[in-house]
Structure 1
Amino acid sequence: MGRNRAIALLIGVAVCVPLLLLHQQGFFRQLSDWLAAHYAGLIKPAEAGLKPLPWLEYGYYTVLAFSGAWVCLELDRTSRKVGFLLGAVFLTVTLSPLLALSGVLFEPFSGCLAVVVAGLLAMVVSGTEKWRMQQRLRPYFVGRLSQAEYEKLVRSKADVEGLTGRREITVLICRLINHAELAGEMEPAELERFSSSFLKVVAEFLVGKGGYLEACNVHRVRVLFGYPVTDPAHAATAAEVALELRQRIVNLTREMEARWHKVPRIGVALQTGEVTCGLFGFSQFEFFTAVGDAIGFADRLCPVNAVYGSQVLLGSATRDAAEASVEVRPMEMVFAPRLTPVTEVYELLALDGGLSEAEAKSRDAFWEGVVRLRKGAFAEAMESFEKARIEGRDDAPLEYFYQRAEEGAKAAEDQKDSGGSTRHVRMLLPS
């Protein structure tokens, strides 16, 4: 249940219970008798006279109490709240003579009292500084932050100005890598449902895990950790969420393949860095976002999962920030023009201590193989990669690097070369 609904419910109960007791004590009976006598002089009653309907009065003031509290909590301006209360009172007072014409005695006093008291209580609650802050930030974060994270943000007393500036964050991007290919194979309506299914599952999962949904468009979901809610361990948090997402992607891929008979290629990338955060845009297009090299690097790195056959890649900055919390293995040296100099990227394997003995030995042998490959020791690299194999388990990145070592050995033999340095740097381009 949402916070506003819960508070409206409490206010409604707090108003309705005393009113019910007043009804039981006969507080409104004299008012009803006075009203009946007044109507008798103005309106020709039916032969049976005006018939009171207590259940109608109870139900009416109950509805007014809850709706009055809800509306006054939701509206942002005091003038609108007062206008609503005056309108509700006017309609309630008008309803009484209209029902009298039909032979029904309806006293409007309890209804007016219910809506006014409930509305005033809601206005008192919504007049606090915390509530005003919550209402101001709410349009920007509804659906983009989980309720728990939103409550943390409100408790931090951060305003719009406080959310603007330079901040270190970790960005996580999940992308449908083969979206362009699928667009040429599927009907438009089918592709729409296919992509929407991917976006919905991934976005809801990541928001539920504490990420800020900064972008969600066509084939990509981008979330931020460490903004707008400060988290000193944002890199470790993002890595842990990425590992959980990896398993969710496996299940999602099977579900989508079974339904649409198309195989989605989904990749995840993480990068940590200092970015500029703030409220960008205008009018209804305003939203909180982050701008910086880390965002662009992660966006370019994500499609490289299709090259290695990996699922989760991370930049060296994320690896350094979360080194004590994760198990990784190296991939290649990469270069992103105008973003970063030559740097190393890694595949995320598990949380710290999450590898079995066999998996740890495989990781070490793989690491050794990558180092040897970069030195041009192709035969030794192939030996290390062979040691890294785990029987009965497919390992696409291992096959990729083994093939590179094999091709390097063949090229060296063709050139009558015993080896030498072979520094391979992959260029990351916008996609």
Structure 2
Amino acid sequence: MKRALLGTFWIGAVSAGLGLAVQLSGVLAPATVALARADALPPNGIVGFGYFLFLILLSFAVAWTALQVAGLARQAVLFVLLAIELIGAAWVLHALQISFPPLPLLCAASVATLLSLGLNATGDRRRRRTAARAFTGRLGQKALDRLTESDPLDLSQPGARAASSVFCEIANEAELIDDLPAAAWAQLTAEFIDCAHQCFLREGGYLQAADGEGIRVLFGFPNQSPSHATEATRAALAFRDEFHRAASSRPKSLGKIDLRIGISSGTLVTSLPEDAPHGDFIIAGEPLEVARRLARANQIYGSEILLGPRTYSAAGKEIVARPIDFLRSAELHDRIEVYELLSLVEKATAEEIARRDRFWTGIVYFRARRWNEAWAEFNRARAENGAPDRPLQWYLRRLEPLCRQMATEPAPGSEPLVPL
């Protein structure tokens, strides 16, 4: 806002001064006379104080409008409409015997528009350089181009926005550290980070951090996107598939990693301190911690990718997912329904959809403590080719003693929530 006010002040002053000089010097008198003969416009005659005041106000108004309106086409349309209105006003006022020469006004408006275009162009270049410095290495080139072409991002002010957080971790990190030499562990971590770095940047994510603790990627920041949850789930699936391919080709390194991913959506608050190093934003919000908790919760069920309820709600039409359980933290009433991400709808087969639906029905029966019906539905949800399904096996192991107990005892109470 401060920059726009300063730009309006000096552009309006320059264009108004030029318009006044043109009117007072009479340099446009020949052109005005020729135009008057051709179109019956008034000559550049004597004007009053009101005309000069209108010229000054018009110059500042055009400068402010041109600085606020984005896009060359929109600015051109506004200038053409203004020119038509000024010429029309000149005709009307000429009929009332009022001198209102339009050419000095058009001259002032033209100068204000051109100077505003130049100022906006320099501002775009400045924003492009600032964004490049802050996000190079953390955003892919496509996302970086999108950032510089969108509305200006004020990095100096804290802001809140809806976004999705993806957290990837090496679930068996402790075992690998015990089994591998330090140099081998460092090399393995570097390969894992490099694989994640390339994939997530290609998918348009913002790489918040990548180290031995895990990979943290954001979608919806810095580029705002209403479909950030869908983008996050799509990127997580792409990374999972790419990682498994790399692990198959490198069994002695990446093949040893047990990958786990958590995704959560919500509001994040971001700020960039003045003395912060290159692109080190301060980012806080519930999705960061929930995504980490979900990644770790995968180890309970044997799943690979777990979603929070907001992510599932936002991306549900684009993905194939199934409910897993309710998780709770130390707070008694703080519980989260989590979902396992299976695939994208566009890539899912009819069998996968049917198995998901049977598993979902089994969950409904399980939560209603209808153990026999749940057992039957979970068994129907088995893959026809015998592929392992760890979350399904986890539920079958819980149901087996309950079904045996049903024959001799009343139905037990509901299973406790799994703590995180």
TM-score, scaled relative to structure 1: 0.65
Question: How many Å separate the matches in 2 of 1:248 and 1:208?
Answer: 12
1:273 alignment partner, SS class: strand
For residues 368-387 of structure 1, what are the structure 2 equivalents within 5 Å?
Answer: 368-387=361-380
- Please state how far the C-alpha of 1:286 moved relative to its aligned partner: 5.6
Does 1:292 find its partner at 2:296? no
* Paired position in structure 2 for 1:302: 295
1:184 alignment partner, SS class: helix
- One-letter amino acid matched to 2:232: A
Question: How many Å separate the matches in 2 of 1:368 and 1:198?
Answer: 37
Does 1:266 find its partner at 2:266? no
* Paired position in structure 2 for 1:56: none
Does 1:136 find its partner at 2:127? no
Q: Is the CA contact 1:171–1:225 (under 8 Å) kept in the aligned structure 2?
A: yes
- One-letter amino acid matched to 2:138: R
- The Cα offsets for residues 302-358 of structure 1, whole Å up to 9 and x where unpaired, read as 022222221111011100011221111110101234698212100111222533222
* Paired position in structure 2 for 1:336: 329
Question: Structure 1 residues 394, 345: closer, same or farther in 2, change over 3 A?
Answer: same
- Tell which deviates more after alignment, 349-358 or 400-409: 349-358
Q: Is the CA contact 1:166–1:276 (under 8 Å) kept in the aligned structure 2?
A: yes
* Paired position in structure 2 for 1:405: 399
Identity %: 28
Question: How many Å separate the matches in 1 of 2:336 and 2:150?
Answer: 36
* Paired position in structure 1 for 2:411: 419
* Paired position in structure 2 for 1:314: 307
Question: How many Å separate the matches in 2 of 1:211 and 1:340?
Answer: 33
* Paired position in structure 2 for 1:156: 150
2:388 alignment partner, SS class: coil
Q: Is the CA contact 1:297–1:339 (under 8 Å) kept in the aligned structure 2?
A: no
Q: Is the CA contact 2:164–2:263 (under 8 Å) kept in the aligned structure 1?
A: yes
- One-letter amino acid matched to 1:284: P
For residues 197-236 of structure 1, what are the structure 2 equivalents within 5 Å?
Answer: 197-236=191-230
Question: How many Å separate the matches in 2 of 1:417 and 1:159?
Answer: 64
- Please state how far the C-alpha of 1:156 moved relative to its aligned partner: 1.9
Question: How many Å separate the matches in 2 of 1:401 and 1:253?
Answer: 28
Question: How many Å separate the matches in 1 of 2:375 and 2:211?
Answer: 41
Q: Is the CA contact 1:214–1:289 (under 8 Å) kept in the aligned structure 2?
A: no
For structure 2, list consecutive stretches of 5 or more residues without a partner in the other structure: 1-117
2:179 alignment partner, SS class: coil
Question: How many Å separate the matches in 2 of 1:242 and 1:281?
Answer: 33
- Please state how far the C-alpha of 1:228 moved relative to its aligned partner: 0.3
User: Which of 347, 359, 362 pairs up with 2:352?
Assistant: 359
- Please state how far the C-alpha of 1:182 moved relative to its aligned partner: 0.6
- One-letter amino acid matched to 2:403: A
Question: Structure 1 residues 283, 274: closer, same or farther in 2, change over 3 A?
Answer: closer
- Please state how far the C-alpha of 1:164 moved relative to its aligned partner: 2.8
For structure 1, list consecutive stretches of 5 or more residues without a partner in the other structure: 1-123
- One-letter amino acid matched to 1:344: E
Question: Structure 1 residues 232, 262: closer, same or farther in 2, change over 3 A?
Answer: closer
Q: Is the CA contact 1:330–1:345 (under 8 Å) kept in the aligned structure 2?
A: yes
Question: How many Å separate the matches in 1 of 2:325 and 2:274?
Answer: 37
* Paired position in structure 2 for 1:192: 186
TM-score, scaled relative to structure 2: 0.67
For residues 269-280 of structure 1, what are the structure 2 equivalents within 5 Å?
Answer: 269-280=262-273
Question: How many Å separate the matches in 1 of 2:352 and 2:198?
Answer: 31
- One-letter amino acid matched to 1:293: E
- The Cα offsets for residues 162-200 of structure 1, whole Å up to 9 and x where unpaired, read as 773111101111111111111011000000001110111
- Please state how far the C-alpha of 1:161 moved relative to its aligned partner: 3.9
- One-letter amino acid matched to 1:215: A
2:130 alignment partner, SS class: helix
Q: Is the CA contact 1:293–1:340 (under 8 Å) kept in the aligned structure 2?
A: no
- Please state how far the C-alpha of 1:424 moved relative to its aligned partner: 3.2
Question: How many Å separate the matches in 2 of 1:340 and 1:153?
Answer: 40
Question: How many Å separate the matches in 2 of 1:391 and 1:379?
Answer: 21
Question: Structure 1 residues 294, 141: closer, same or farther in 2, change over 3 A?
Answer: same
Question: Structure 1 residues 412, 280: closer, same or farther in 2, change over 3 A?
Answer: farther
Question: Structure 1 residues 326, 191: closer, same or farther in 2, change over 3 A?
Answer: same
For residues 7-156 of structure 1, what are the structure 2 equivalents within 5 Å?
Answer: 128-156=122-150
User: Which of 371, 383, 396 pairs up with 1:390?
Assistant: 383
Q: What do you get for the CA RMSD once the two structures are aligned?
A: 2.6
Question: How many Å separate the matches in 1 of 2:332 and 2:354?
Answer: 35
Question: How many Å separate the matches in 1 of 2:220 and 2:331?
Answer: 25
Question: How many Å separate the matches in 2 of 1:283 and 1:240?
Answer: 32
